[in-house]
C-alpha cells in the first residue's frame, strides 16, 4: 500500500499512527503524481473536493486512472455537490456547518466550520464542482462508471443516538461516498 498526500505533516501523522503496517508514503501533489504502480484499489478520502477547477479534477482522475489496473476501483468520500445550498447551515447538531457564496459556481469555496467534542473550532475550504463535472471528469479520464454511494447509517449510529437524530443528515447528506471503475 502506498499513501500519498501533499502535506508533509499528514504523512508524518500517518507514519506515526503506524496503522498501515509496512506501507510506503509519498509527499506529493496528486495532480502531478504520475505513475507509481498498478494498484487494485485507489482510495481518495476527501481528495477530489480539493480540485478548484474542472481541469484540475480531470488531472486528479487521470492520476488515479494511470495507477489502477484495468478494472481497478476508485472509492472515496467527498463534499457532496448535490447538497442543496440552503441546507448548509443545518448540521450544527453534528458538530459542523458549511457555508458558501450565494449563487455557488464552479470552483467556489465551500467552507466547513467544525467544533470538536472538546469545544475547539477550526475551519477549512473545499471547492464546489457540479455533479456533472465529476461525472464527466471520471468518464473522460478512463473510468467506465462513476457513482455517488450512500451515505448509510451504521448500526452503531442508530443504536447510540435518539430516534430521528440523523434525519437531517441522511435526508440531505452534506458528504457522500463515491466509486468508479477503470476501463
Ligand atoms: C480531509 S484530509 C483527509 C486525510 C486522509 N486521507 C484521511 O483520510 O484521514 C484531505 C487531505 O487531502 C490532502 N490534499 C489536498 N489536496 C491535495 C493534492 N492536490 N494532492 C495530494 N493531497 C492533497 C490534504 O493535504 C489533506 O491531508
91 part of a folded domain: no
141 part of a folded domain: yes
3-state helix, strand, coil in the chain (%, to 5): 30, 35, 35
For 68, the enclosing helix (H) or strand (E) is strand 68-79
Which protein residue's CA is at the shortest distance from atom 10 of ligand 1?
A: 46
3-class DSSP state of 166:
coil
21 part of a folded domain: no
DSSP code for 87:
G
- Name the residue of 3, 4, 6 whose CB sits within 8 Å of the most ligand 1 atoms, as the mutation to test its pocket: 6
For the question of whether the overall pTM of this predicted structure is more than 0.85, the answer is yes
Grid cell 467544525 is found at: 114
CATH classification at residue 177? 3.40.50.150
138 part of a folded domain: yes
Q: Count of domains in the chain?
A: 1
Strand partners, 45: 77
CA–CA gap between residue 148 and residue 51 (Å, rounded)? 17
111 part of a folded domain: no
177 part of a folded domain: yes
Examine the pLDDT at 182 and tell me if it is beyond 90: yes
Which protein residue's CA is at the shortest distance from atom 13 of ligand 1?
A: 5
∠ CA 163-147-181, rounded to 5°: 135
Give mean pLDDT, residues 125-153: 98
45 part of a folded domain: yes
Give mean pLDDT, residues 172-183: 98
Give mean pLDDT, residues 142-165: 97
Distance from residue 46's CA to the centre of ligand 1 (Å): 6
CB of 129 sitting under 6 A from ligand 1: no
CB of 6 sitting under 6 A from ligand 1: yes
Tens of pLDDT, residues 4-60: 999 999 999 999 988 777 789 999 999 999 999 999 999 999 999 999 999 999 999
Distance from residue 37's CA to the centre of ligand 1 (Å): 20
State which residues form the domain around 172.
Answer: 34-82+129-182
Which atom of ligand 1 has the smallest separation from the CA of 124? 1
Tens of pLDDT, residues 81-138: 999 999 999 999 999 999 999 999 999 999 999 999 999 999 999 999 999 999 999 9
Examine the pLDDT at 145 and tell me if it is beyond 90: yes
166 part of a folded domain: yes
Tens of pLDDT, residues 25-38: 999 999 999 999 99
CA–CA gap between residue 18 and residue 53 (Å, rounded)? 34
Give mean pLDDT, residues 152-165: 97
Amino acid at each position: 500500500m502506498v499513501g500519498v498526500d501533499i502535506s508533509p505533516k499528514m504523512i508524518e501523522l500517518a507514519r506515526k499512527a503506524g496503522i498501515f503496517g509496512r506501507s510506503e508514503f509519498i509527499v506529493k501533489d496528486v495532480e502531478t503524481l504520475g505513475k507509481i504502480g498498478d494498484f487494485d484499489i485507489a482510495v481518495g478520502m476527501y481528495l477530489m473536493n480539493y480540485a478548484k477547477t474542472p481541469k484540475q479534477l480531470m488531472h486528479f482522475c487521470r492520476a488515479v486512472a494511470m495507477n489502477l489496473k484495468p478494472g481497478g476501483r476508485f472509492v472515496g468520500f467527498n463534499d457532496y455537490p448535490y447538497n442543496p445550498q440552503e441546507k448548509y447551515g443545518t448540521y450544527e447538531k453534528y458538530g459542523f456547518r458549511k457555508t458558501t457564496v450565494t449563487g455557488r459556481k464552479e470552483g467556489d469555496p465551500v467552507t466547513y466550520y467544525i467544533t470538536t467534542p472538546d469545544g475547539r473550532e477550526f475551519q477549512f475550504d473545499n471547492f464546489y464542482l457540479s455533479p456533472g463535472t465529476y461525472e464527466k471528469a471520471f468518464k473522460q479520464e478512463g473510468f467506465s462508471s462513476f457513482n455517488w454511494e450512500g451515505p448509510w447509517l451504521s448500526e452503531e449510529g442508530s443504536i447510540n443516538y435518539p430516534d430521528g437524530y440523523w434525519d437531517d443528515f441522511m435526508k440531505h447528506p452534506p458528504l457522500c461516498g463515491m466509486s468508479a471503475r477503470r476501463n
